[in-house]
Amino acid sequence: MGFSKRSTETAPGTNTAGYVVDYPDATTRRLASRDESGLITRYPYLLANASVAGQTGFAADTYLAGSNIVIPSAGDWSVGETYYCMFDMVKTAAGIAQFTITVRMGTLGTTSDASILALTFGAGTAAIDDGTFEVWLTFRTVGTGTTAVIQGQASCRHALAATGLTNTGASGNGSIRGASSGFNSSTQTILGLSVNGGASFAGTNTLVQSQLTK
């Protein structure tokens, strides 16, 4: 049994009253529909990834396995597109540097991809700790030159509050946020994260889940 394929197209003309026409949109490459009044709806899609094995280390900047999302066409990012990633981290008593999460975009899915935004928590301490990090990103603008901008936020919930993984105050919950500088978003196919616990950090990650909603 074969699979059918259909090229993208512009919106179809006026359709029969009471009917909706579905078609692959030429601009966004997403499924769209046009009703009898001419209203066009473009359906979102979800891309997802996850880690399938544990990862250790993170004393140097390390690409987080399972955080990378690959889009079908280079540069096909859009305004309002969102990225989300959660991952756990267990820390030994070693390592007292700042914990940094770097958003990277490129075509490799490694730390050689360009750093778009760095989200840095307060310095950790020499104590065993266990926590969960979450990262949210939104494309504010996209385009060539320095047109594209990403807004990001990262949060950490961990057992030891102001010690261990990072200083987040007495509650053990903390958030940081920031916007990227302008960059060119027209060539990349991969969006993902790298993690750096700093010198002597010894961490173990067991779970990563990421998604891109477009």
Which DSSP state fits 18? T
pLDDT for 1 equals: 42
Which is more confident, 11 or 84? 84
Q: Tell me the DSSP string of 22-67.
A: EEEBTTT-SEEEE-TT--EEE---EEEEE-SS-EEE-SS-EE-TT-
Q: Work out the mean pLDDT of the chain and round it to a whole number.
A: 90
Question: Taking the domains of the chain in order of start, what are their residue ranges?
Answer: 10-43, 46-213
Region 180-188: mean pLDDT is 98
Region 39-57: mean pLDDT is 89
What class has domain 46-213? mainly beta
> In this predicted model, what pLDDT tens digit does every residue of 88-135 receive, in sequence order?
999 999 999 999 999 999 999 999 999 999 999 999 999 999 999 999
Region 31-53: mean pLDDT is 83
pLDDT for 20 equals: 79
Count Cβ neighbours within 10 Å for each residue of 31-48 and write b for 16 or more, e otherwise.
ebbbeeeeeeeeeeeeee
Which is more confident, 178 or 45? 178
Assess contact for 150 and 120: CB atoms under 8 A.
Answer: no
Pairwise CA distance, residues 106 & 190, whole Å: 5
How large a percentage of the chain has pLDDT more than 90? 73
Instruction: Give me the amino acid identity at 118.
Output: A
Show Cβ contacts of residue 148 under 8 Å, excluding neighbours closer than 6 positions: 77, 139, 141, 142, 180, 182, 183, 184, 185
Closest CA to 190 of 65, 101, 55, 89: 65
pTM: 0.84
In which band, very low, low, confident or very high, does the pLDDT at 45 lie, cut at 50, 70 and 90?
Answer: confident
How large a percentage of the chain has pLDDT more than 70? 89
Pairwise CA distance, residues 84 & 70, whole Å: 14
Closest CA to 136 of 119, 113, 120, 123: 119
pLDDT for 14 equals: 65
Closest CA to 209 of 47, 56, 45, 49: 49
pLDDT for 2 equals: 44
> In this predicted model, what pLDDT tens digit does every residue of 138-170 receive, in sequence order?
999 999 999 999 999 999 999 998 899 998 877
pLDDT for 211 equals: 98
Which DSSP state fits 110? S
Q: List, in sequence order, every residue forming a beta bridge with 69; answer none if it has no partner.
A: 191
